[in-house]
Amino acid sequence: MFAEAPIRWFARRPRALPRPAPTIRFDPAEFAPALQTRLLILQATPFCNIDCDYCYLPERDSTARMSIATVRRAAERLLEDDLARDEITVVWHAGEPLAMPRAFYAAAFSVLEQVLGSTCRVAHSIQTNGTLIDDAWCELFKRHHVQIGVSVDGPAALHDRHRRTRGGHGTHARVVAGMQRLRAHGIAFHAIAVVTADTFADAHGFVDFFVEQGVAEVGCNYDEAEGVHARSSLAGREAAHAAFVQHLLDRSLASDPPLRIRELGLALDLIRAPLPRVRWQGRAWPDNAQAQPFALITVGHDGRFGTFSPELLGQRAAEFGDFVLGNVRTDGYLASARSACFERLWSAIVHGTRACEAACAHFGFCGGGAPANKFYENSDFASAETLYCRTMFKRPFDAVLSRLEGAREAPEVRP
């Protein structure tokens, strides 16, 4: 779901430009509780050692690397703007994070603790393709309590169709070996799978793989139209997706040991306890980090930064430039909100959030969706429903709610 590098899709995919949304003033003092950064996404390198056919990143050949000085400034800027409180999760996400040297992470973790440790708890998360995991990496993960996500699309036939080496060979065996290394070291991890139209044709095999591997939680990132990946294989396959979600729900309920499907688990969590509210301009809004300024900050390898959906950093669009708000070497986060790019972006995202509120019964549980997907799919931040929100949120939510209502209405069975 995250994007890490500039792209060229705007020139390739002509589109009618939306009308600029009416300007909405941004004042940090109008938010209650005060603005706080919860996710700091650091893109250590755009390079990736494999070549997935649905990848939306055009610069995954680049071997550019983030410096430790940039890591330090990214953290210091949080303190300068009083954005670091309680806990912050640093997400290392780029082409392939493990393409960076282990020594880089050891130094980066130390610097982040030095800068932020007396102000808030710092947690680290790495999403990896799993092919480079070895004993030395596992020791580093354990030493620093790093949360690990492994990208794997299910059984070899599904996975190797899309996630291949630069030489065109499958990567599944190497990923499974990496998962085995994690287990051998007692490191808990979750999996994230990109679900394509191919997955629908082997829903049983998809779930069987994760059950057999003993994976406790799987996140389904449904094939998205993003960046240079201009079209989703799921477009027009709504009924197939609905059947797939029902299959996931049936299998997750029947699985022993339990298999948590992230989207279904999130739906259940939200039904039990809807999103907390954030007050802005005297109104209470569902707390959606992707639509709230600086709740999520993405910093590229060169220090350039953005906020809202992390996929936006470095992308190209006529109205918004490259979505870069500043550079941590020279600019503060909150000061960047005075830029024309931020003003246009914030205004459009607010109008999009209001459009969701007016049109969608799920708004109180979702908070207005992902701005990047509105832009990629609808060509307009100031819009509402997307394929992404139907696949990632609405349909899983409705499936869980329907199952709960059915269980409540079922006649009591007496012995």
Q: State the average pLDDT over residues 71-86.
A: 98
Q: How far apart are CA 240 and CA 176, in angstroms?
A: 28
Name, in order, each residue with C-beta under 8 angstroms of 274's C-beta and a sequence gap of 6 or more. Answer: 286, 364, 365
pLDDT at 377: 87
Q: State the average pLDDT over residues 111-118.
A: 98
Name, in order, each residue with C-beta under 8 angstroms of 26's C-beta and a sequence gap of 6 or more. Answer: 293, 337, 342, 343, 346
Is residue 374 within 8 A of residue 351, CB to CB? The reply is no
pLDDT at 318: 81
pLDDT at 321: 84
* DSSP sequence for 137-179: HHHHHHHHT-EEEEE--SSHHHHHHH-BBTTS-B-HHHHHHHH
Which SS3 state, helix, strand or coil, does residue 53 take?
A: coil
pLDDT band at 9 (very low <50, low <70, confident <90, very high): very low
Q: Is the pLDDT of residue 40 over 90?
A: yes
pLDDT at 3: 34
Cis amide bond preceding 258, omega within 30: no
Q: State the average pLDDT over residues 367-390.
A: 91
Q: How far apart are CA 174 and CA 156, in angstroms?
A: 11
DSSP state of 361: T
DSSP state of 381: S
Q: State the average pLDDT over residues 161-176.
A: 96
Q: How far apart are CA 99 and CA 92, in angstroms?
A: 12
Of 41-50, 300-309, 352-361, 402-411, the one with minimum mean pLDDT is 402-411
pLDDT single digits (tens) 215-239: 999 999 987 655 544 467 777 788 9
pLDDT band at 411 (very low <50, low <70, confident <90, very high): very low
Q: Dihedrals φ, ψ of 169, to 5°? A: -95, 155
Is residue 377 within 8 A of residue 386, CB to CB? The reply is yes
Of 114-128, 169-183, 280-294, the one with minimum mean pLDDT is 280-294
Q: State the average pLDDT over residues 36-56.
A: 93
Enter the tokens of residue 369.
Answer: 């969706």
pLDDT band at 19 (very low <50, low <70, confident <90, very high): low
What is the torsion angle, in degrees rounded to the nearest 10, for the CA atoms of residue 215, residue 219, residue 225 and residue 231? Answer: 40
Mean pLDDT of the chain: 89
Enter the tokens of residue 34.
Answer: 């005060």
Q: What is the CA radius of gyration of the chain?
A: 21
Is residue 190 within 8 A of residue 216, CB to CB? The reply is yes
Enter the tokens of residue 6.
Answer: 């500039």
Q: How far apart are CA 415 and CA 413, in angstroms?
A: 7
Of 218-232, 296-310, 324-338, the one with minimum mean pLDDT is 218-232
Q: State the average pLDDT over residues 259-272.
A: 95
pLDDT band at 115 (very low <50, low <70, confident <90, very high): very high
pLDDT band at 316 (very low <50, low <70, confident <90, very high): confident
Range with the largest mean pLDDT of 89-98, 117-126, 230-239, 249-258: 117-126
Cis amide bond preceding 274, omega within 30: no
Name, in order, each residue with C-beta under 8 angstroms of 414's C-beta and a sequence gap of 6 or more. Answer: none
What's the distance, CA 335 to chain centroid? Answer: 25
pLDDT at 18: 52
Q: Is the pLDDT of residue 262 over 60?
A: yes
Residue-range domains of the chain with CATH: 22-337 (3.20.20.70)
Name, in order, each residue with C-beta under 8 angstroms of 277's C-beta and a sequence gap of 6 or more. Answer: 284, 285, 286, 287
What is the torsion angle, in degrees rounded to the nearest 10, for the CA atoms of residue 350, residue 192, residue 136 and residue 118? Answer: 30
Other CB atoms within 10 Å distance of the CB of residue 261: 23
